[in-house]
Structure 1
Amino acid sequence: MLGKNAKIFFLGSVCLLIASIILAAWGFPKIVGLQIQKSVQIENSSLMFEKWRKLPMPLTFNVYLFNVTNVQDINSGMKPLLQEVGPFVYKEYRERTILGYGENDTVRYTLKKTFVFDKEASGNLTDDVELTVINYPYMAAILTANSIMPSIVGLLNSAMGPFFSSEQDPFLKVRVNQLLFDGVYLNCSRNSSALALICGKLKADKPPTMRLAEDRSGFYFSMFAHMNNTDIGPFEMNRGVEDVRQLGHITSFQDMTVMNQWGDPYCGMINGSDATIFPPIDEKNVPNRLYIYEPEICRSIFASLVDQRVMFNMTTYYYEVDKMALASKSANPDNKCFCDKNWSSNHDGCLMMGLINLKPCKNAPVIGSFPHFHLASEELLNYFAGGIKPDPEKHNSFVYLEPTTGVVLKGFQRLQFNIELRQIPMIPQLENVTSGLFPLMWVEEGATIPDDLLEELQDSRRLLDYVETARWMLLVIATFSCIIAAVCVVRSTGAHVWPRRSDFHLRPGNTIVVNKSR
């Protein structure tokens, strides 16, 4: 009876061990993976859905402006001396409106951003302070006219006075709130053929930085008013229900699967997420690059894997935008399709290292770069007498990703807007300046995960750790049960390590004696 029970115990232990091995090697990871997918996918019932639809905390939108301190010197041909002023801090709220669900596991939505000036975070800075900056709309109009018909530039310049109210040089005294959101008024009501040409061009091109006045008498120029309280899109994005590895991937923008501004399918490729949501990372196949699609520059950009780093006592993957993202054509031939083929007859339209021509995207001759020309050609730095100093710690773009859920623990995108200050002899304001790329401002957009969401994530991680511990504990228990059962079976069959004989005994003196049969 004992032997039969031991064999049943052994058989059950073997079955338990096999089940434990299957669960440890496949079952637990599969179950945990499915639960994570259900939590992060864009589905009404998921934990992530409402946080994705309306971000539970505002992003930080910091603006740094370059105040020009030696205007007269620049007008006489000397190097610019700049003073960085900032950050002017804004809270950026994001809310999505669901328009419907499409084929291939996609969700269709619009995104609305709302910017609110944060007085406390801005410290002593107020958004009504007046600064002197490069006159972006003036230079944009002059450079655009010069590229189309150089012979009319002088006539066009004569109309700039009434257009800008008063204009003595290529610099502008402006309040920060005007430049960023409220708008600088540009007057189109004067009777001038040259002015009519400028205003007609603006009406035709509709650059996003120009807002037509309600009475249609002119325009308001501002850098970000078109982004504020305005529905952007529509976007189509993969929900990650059918394949969590595709979660967050943007498949179209404004009903286009390829951005046609660049005239090339590679450069126009819509690739990556919107930088707020990423799929969980497979530890066996960690991606070397993360792609982000940014509508404001009409292109996707990538961040490269640097290493693993610990943040908030969690292991994360750290990605950073490197020099290859905005590399010159000579350094990265793939970037040749970002060159402006219509730049001029004596220029191939390709820029130096660390720059991107945003004219096809913005309908204005603006040049993008990283702040303070970080990762750009040193030739750009030589143009300035001071105020430009790239610092990787302050000016890089990066993201820390928690691999199990794909949650962004910390991330910032940084971009600088520049325009060329060009010497043009036929224009009095520009006849003595030294040509060079002139920065207007740089911005950083991002956030660090707030404490309440961090605590929620850490609780989830602890639960996963418990599950992982239980996974291996079950295997260990099953293994020991199998060993114990095997011992019981051996004992129950009558096998003994020491033979049982009647003539076997110990004599005094601890001597083992085996009596022989007579």
Structure 2
Amino acid sequence: MLGKNAKLFFGLSMCGLIIAIVLSAWGFPKIVNTQIQKSVQLDNSSMMYEKWRKLPIALTFQVNVFNVTNVDDIMAGKKPILQEIGPFVYKEYRERTVLGYGENDTIKYTVKKTYEYDQEASGALTEDQEVTIINYSYMNAILTAYELMPGILPMLNEAMSQFFGAQDTPFITVKVKDLFFDGMFLDCSLNMSAIALICGKLKADTPSVMRRAEDKNGFYFSLFGQWNNTDIGPFEMVRGRENIRELGHIVSYQDKKVMNHWGDPYCGMLNGSDATIFPPIDESDVPNKIYFFEPEICRSSYASLVGQRAIYNMSAYYYEIDRLVFASKSANPDNKCFCRKNWSAKHDGCLLMGVMNLMPCKGAPAIISLPHYYLASEELLEYFDGGITPDKEKHNSYVYLEPKTGAVLQGMQRIQFNIELRNIPNIPQLATVQTGLFPLLWIEEGADTMPDDLLKELQDAHTILGYVEVARWLLLVIASLVCVGAAVCVVRSGAAPVWPRSNNDFILNPGHSLDINKGH
């Protein structure tokens, strides 16, 4: 009876071990991944949905302006000396409006950003701070006109200089609030036929950086005013219900699946997310690159994996902007379709590392780079006598991703806006300056800290996942020990043959006996 019970116990323990192996190797991971997917997918019932729809924290939006300190020297042909003033810090709130759901597991929405000046974070700086900067709108108009009709540019210049406030130099002094959001007034009531021509063109095709004055007698030019309290989109994004690895992938913007500005389907591809949501990371196949789409530059960019790092007592994957994103076509042939000629008097835009021409995207000769020309050509730095000092810690773009959920633990995106200051002999304001790429300002957008409540929520989830992981392997260990114990019971009960101990024991064949008293 004891032998039969031992065998039964052993059989049951083997079944338990098999179940434990299946659960440990497949069951527990499957259950955990299913629950994570339900939590992060863009569905009304998920934990992520409301946080995605209305960002529960304010991002930081910081602006650093390049104040020009030696205007007279620049006008005399000397190198610029710049002074960085900032950061001017704003709180950025984001809210999405869901427009509907599409086929292929997508959601359609618009995004509204709202900016609020953060006086405490800005310290002594106020929005009334005056700065002397390159006259961005004037240089924009001059360079655009120069490409279209260089012969009549001297006749247009008088009107342009009055309209854009550049009577003596290509520089202007302005309050930052007017430059950023409120707008600098451009007066259409001036009695000049050329100004009437300019204003007529603006009325017919108003650029995004300008808004019509309420009295209809002019326009306000600002760099970021079009972003504030304005619905951007629509976007169409994958919800991640059918394939969690596709969560957040943007499949269309303004109902277009390809950005046609570049005249090439490769450069026009929509890759990645909007940089606020990423899918969980399969740690057996960690992506070397993560992609994100930027509508303001009409293209997708990417960050490359640096490695695994600890942050907030959690393990995360650290990515940073790749040097090849804005590389010259000689360094990165894939960038050749982003190249446009004649953005510079010296270069076609593809010979220099670290810059990108936004003319096809914005219809204006704006050039973007990383702040202080970080990762860009040394040639750009040689144009200045001071104020441009690239620093990886200050000017790099990066993101930390928590692998289990794909949550962004920390991230900053940094970009600089530039325009060419070009020597044009028949334009008085430009006849004596040196030609070079001139920076206006750089922005920093993202979150460098995580609120305590969100951090605790994520850490608690990590703790639970840790307990599940421990339970997974503990179950396997217990099942193995029980199986070993059952095997011992079977052996000791005599229900299974075993090798005898060696000390003076003998093995007898069946049918033979041994008489130790038998004589010889």
TM-score range, shorter chain: over 0.9
* Matched position secondary structure for 1:211: strand
How big is the shift at 1:359? 1.3
Please tell me whether residue 320 in structure 1 is matched to residue 320 in structure 2.
Answer: yes
Counterpart residue type for residue 319 of structure 2 = Y
Partner of 2:383: 383
State how far apart, in whole Å, the 2-side matches of 1:515 and 1:480 are. Answer: 44
State which drifts further: 208-217 or 113-122.
208-217
How big is the shift at 1:197? 2.8
Instruction: Summarize the alignment of residues 248-397 of structure 1 with structure 2, pairs less than 5 Å apart.
Output: 248-341=248-341, 348-397=348-397
Partner of 2:480: 479
State how far apart, in whole Å, the 1-side matches of 2:340 and 2:193 are. Answer: 29
Partner of 1:516: 516
State how far apart, in whole Å, the 2-side matches of 1:500 and 1:150 are. Answer: 110
Counterpart residue type for residue 488 of structure 2 = V
How big is the shift at 1:262? 1.0
State how far apart, in whole Å, the 1-side matches of 2:76 and 2:165 are. Answer: 23
State how far apart, in whole Å, the 1-side matches of 2:408 and 2:268 are. Answer: 26
Counterpart residue type for residue 465 of structure 2 = L
Partner of 1:81: 81
Partner of 1:462: 463
Counterpart residue type for residue 228 of structure 1 = N
Please tell me whether residue 492 in structure 1 is matched to residue 493 in structure 2.
Answer: yes
How big is the shift at 1:190? 2.0
1:204–1:264 distance in 2 versus 1, CA, 3 Å: farther
Output one character per residue of 1:318-342: Cα deviation in whole Å (capped at 9) or x when no partner. 1010210000111111111111257
State how far apart, in whole Å, the 1-side matches of 2:135 and 2:166 are. Answer: 12
Verify the 8 A CA contact 1:408 1:449 in the aligned structure 2: no
* Matched position secondary structure for 1:48: helix
State how far apart, in whole Å, the 1-side matches of 2:313 and 2:345 are. Answer: 57
Output one character per residue of 1:7-46: Cα deviation in whole Å (capped at 9) or x when no partner. 1111110000000111111111111111111111000111
Verify the 8 A CA contact 1:97 1:109 in the aligned structure 2: yes
State which drifts further: 339-348 or 50-59.
339-348
Amino-acid identity (%): 67
State how far apart, in whole Å, the 1-side matches of 2:429 and 2:502 are. Answer: 113
Partner of 1:426: 426
Verify the 8 A CA contact 2:178 2:222 in the aligned structure 1: yes
Partner of 1:95: 95
How big is the shift at 1:166? 6.1
Partner of 1:219: 219
* Matched position secondary structure for 1:248: coil
Counterpart residue type for residue 478 of structure 1 = A
Verify the 8 A CA contact 2:60 2:91 in the aligned structure 1: yes
Verify the 8 A CA contact 1:277 1:407 in the aligned structure 2: yes
Partner of 2:50: 50
Counterpart residue type for residue 487 of structure 1 = V
State how far apart, in whole Å, the 2-side matches of 1:436 and 1:418 are. Answer: 10
State how far apart, in whole Å, the 1-side matches of 2:16 and 2:157 are. Answer: 87
Verify the 8 A CA contact 2:57 2:93 in the aligned structure 1: yes
Verify the 8 A CA contact 1:81 1:385 in the aligned structure 2: yes
State how far apart, in whole Å, the 2-side matches of 1:285 and 1:221 are. Answer: 47
State how far apart, in whole Å, the 2-side matches of 1:492 and 1:328 are. Answer: 79
Verify the 8 A CA contact 1:188 1:217 in the aligned structure 2: yes
Partner of 1:453: 454
Verify the 8 A CA contact 1:205 1:363 in the aligned structure 2: no
Counterpart residue type for residue 381 of structure 1 = L
Please tell me whether residue 136 in structure 1 is matched to residue 136 in structure 2.
Answer: yes
1:76–1:500 distance in 2 versus 1, CA, 3 Å: closer
State how far apart, in whole Å, the 1-side matches of 2:128 and 2:279 are. Answer: 41
State how far apart, in whole Å, the 2-side matches of 1:165 and 1:379 are. Answer: 31
How big is the shift at 1:191? 2.9
Instruction: Summarize the alignment of residues 1-16 of structure 1 with structure 2, pairs less than 5 Å apart.
Output: 1-16=1-16
Output one character per residue of 1:480-506: Cα deviation in whole Å (capped at 9) or x when no partner. 1111111111222365756999xxxxx
1:257–1:441 distance in 2 versus 1, CA, 3 Å: same
State which drifts further: 207-216 or 354-363.
207-216
Gaps in structure 2 of 5+ consecutive residues: 505-513
Instruction: Summarize the alignment of residues 136-155 of structure 1 with structure 2, pairs less than 5 Å apart.
Output: 136-155=136-155
Counterpart residue type for residue 62 of structure 2 = N
Counterpart residue type for residue 443 of structure 2 = V
* Matched position secondary structure for 2:108: strand
How big is the shift at 1:103? 0.5
1:294–1:35 distance in 2 versus 1, CA, 3 Å: same
State how far apart, in whole Å, the 2-side matches of 1:342 and 1:458 are. Answer: 52
How big is the shift at 1:161? 4.1
State how far apart, in whole Å, the 1-side matches of 2:503 and 2:317 are. Answer: 65
Verify the 8 A CA contact 2:166 2:172 in the aligned structure 1: no
How big is the shift at 1:385? 0.6
1:267–1:391 distance in 2 versus 1, CA, 3 Å: same
